């Protein structure tokens, strides 16, 4: 299978290139970039120096269709709307990492992204690429919309609990901490070192775009309507997300064992979900530091019986399980190869 990446110069594009170069079942032979066409890929992604002689190529549909069978689109929000229809009509498999096809209701794009969707007919054709919840649909699809990073961590934490238990679905509070790479490759005043270092900055206390995504996932998976109150903080790390989710239960008969049973039933055989709740050691609950560079999502919880509050924590690397790693996982499912191919490795410790 010949694969390509459109938008290979960003952080997510660079991670896709890194992973695909060493994937046992595919050949990466196209990396597209309008800005850097003609430059060696390793000039923008220096970690790949000595590992590839690929150069960035212009974004030309004839080149793309001649060289690839499957393509990843890692382009800014709003851009994929113009690119994806032509790729699909040419017969290519597509995994889109933008937000352009994640929401099923076209009206939601006006509310959350501020633009009118150009191809609303394709929204129902895209399959949401969260393997742990929608694997069967992914397997049958040629068009995957890859989840957002915050939506991935939050949805994996919340969905099984909301489906299984009687919860106050109108009051689910989500507190997210995210590293600087979540802002993307292009610098702005908020991302320069002197402004970004040593901060815990509430940059989106309300109205984060991934709120709509999480609510949609929960409704699809559990059939329940949930209202998510999400606040997102920029913190002083480069990679990683910690999503802390507060769920208020309507019954006081729930035990810790009941919660464990739900998560084990849903995620017990998942290769990239680790359930964390150690009584010893430094890392007793999920921590983004431990999943850095991996495709794992670590999930743990604590139950406050006094207030009937279940606190669920999920940690991921926003560039891996939150983007490129999950896209590769989706590709593996689509192609029918081992789901862990090119992804089964640990992170670094210490880092």
54: which residues sit within 8 A by CB, 6+ positions away? 17, 28, 29, 31, 40, 41
Q: Which residue has the tokens 């032979």?
A: 29
Cα→Cα distances 188→47, 183, 185, 350, Å: 23, 9, 10, 30
Exposure b/e, 31-68, CB count within 10 A at least 16 = b: bbbeebeeeebbebbeebeeebebebbebeeeebbebb
Interatomic CA distance for residues 77 and 67, integer angstroms: 25
Q: Which is the catalytic residue, given 44, 88, 149, 247? A: 149
- Does the active-site annotation cover 149? yes
If we measure between CA atoms, which residue out of 47, 57, 46 comes closest to residue 8? 57
Interatomic CA distance for residues 153 and 149, integer angstroms: 7
Strands 2-6 and 309-316: unpaired
Q: Which residues are catalytic?
A: 149
């Amino acid at each position: 299978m010949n694969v390509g990446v459109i938008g290979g110069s960003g952080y997510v594009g660079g991670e896709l290139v890194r992973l695909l170069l060493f994937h046992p079942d595919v050949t990466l032979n196209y990396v597209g970039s309008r800005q850097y066409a003609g430059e060696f890929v390793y000039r923008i992604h220096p970690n790949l120096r000595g590992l590839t002689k690929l150069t960035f190529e212009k974004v030309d549909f004839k080149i793309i269709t001649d060289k690839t069978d499957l393509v990843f689109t890692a382009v800014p929000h709003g851009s994929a709307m113009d690119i994806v229809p032509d790729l699909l009509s040419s017969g290519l498999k597509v995994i889109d990492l933008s937000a352009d096809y994640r929401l099923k209701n076209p009206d939601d794009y006006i509310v959350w992204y501020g633009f009118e969707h150009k191809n609303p007919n394709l929204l129902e054709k895209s399959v949401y690429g969260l393997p742990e919840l929608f694997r069967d649909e992914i397997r049958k699809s040629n068009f995957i919309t890859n989840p957002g990073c915050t939506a991935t961590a939050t949805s994996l934490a919340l969905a099984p609990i909301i489906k299984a238990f009687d919860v106050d679905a109108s009051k689910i509070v989500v507190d997210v901490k995210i590293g600087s790479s979540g802002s993307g490759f292009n610098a702005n005043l908020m991302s320069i070192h002197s402004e970004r270092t040593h901060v815990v900055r509430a940059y989106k206390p309300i109205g984060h775009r991934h709120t709509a995504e999480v609510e949609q996932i929960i409704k699809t998976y559990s059939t329940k309507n949930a209202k998510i109150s999400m606040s997102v903080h920029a913190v002083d790390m480069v990679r990683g997300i910690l999503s802390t989710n507060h769920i208020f239960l309507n019954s006081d008969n729930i035990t810790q064992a009941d919660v464990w049973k739900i998560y084990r039933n849903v995620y017990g055989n998942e290769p990239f979900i680790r359930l964390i709740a150690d009584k010893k050691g430094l890392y007793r609950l999920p921590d983004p530091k431990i999943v850095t560079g991996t495709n794992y999502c670590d999930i743990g919880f604590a139950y406050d019986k006094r207030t009937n509050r279940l606190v669920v924590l999920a940690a991921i690397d926003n560039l891996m399980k939150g983007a490129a790693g999950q896209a590769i996982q989706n590709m593996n499912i689509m192609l029918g190869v081992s789901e862990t191919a090119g992804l089964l490795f640990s992170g670094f410790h210490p880092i």
